[in-house]
């Protein structure tokens, strides 16, 4: 399995939110560590960045983020531009 992760060479942008109990910074770093052949970047947003009081783990997939977060992620998917350069997780 690790060999399959290591074979991925596409750039990866991992996004989490500060109130996500599952995708903690440590979990994101650990997950990205398996993709040894890819350029990896992780960002952590705050609920306030998204105009929300809370977001958690699943809220980013809800339609009310279509005009904000979803469009922002298209910058990454279409142009390879991190829309949150000041939110990097080191």
Give, rounded to a whole angstrom, the gap between the first and last alpha carbons of the chain. 25
Please give the pLDDT value at position 90.
84
How do the pLDDT tens digits run along the chain, 90 residues long?
A: 999 999 999 999 999 999 999 999 999 999 999 999 999 999 999 999 999 999 999 999 999 999 999 999 999 999 999 999 999 998
Q: 84 is written with which tokens?
A: 């949150």
Round to whole Å and give the CA distance between 43 and 19. Answer: 13
The whole-number pLDDT of residue 23 equals: 97
Residue pair 43/88 in contact (Cβ under 8 Å)? The answer is yes
- 19: which residues sit within 8 A by CB, 6+ positions away? 47, 54, 55, 56
């Amino acid at each position: 399995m690790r060999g399959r992760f290591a074979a991925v060479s596409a750039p990866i942008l991992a996004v989490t939110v500060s109130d996500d109990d599952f995708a903690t910074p440590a979990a994101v770093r650990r997950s990205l560590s398996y993709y040894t052949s890819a350029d990896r970047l992780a960002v952590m947003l705050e609920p306030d960045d998204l105009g929300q009081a809370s977001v958690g783990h699943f809220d980013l997939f809800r339609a009310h983020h279509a005009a904000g977060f979803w469009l922002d992620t298209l910058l990454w998917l279409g142009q390879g531009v991190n829309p949150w350069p000041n939110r990097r997780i080191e």
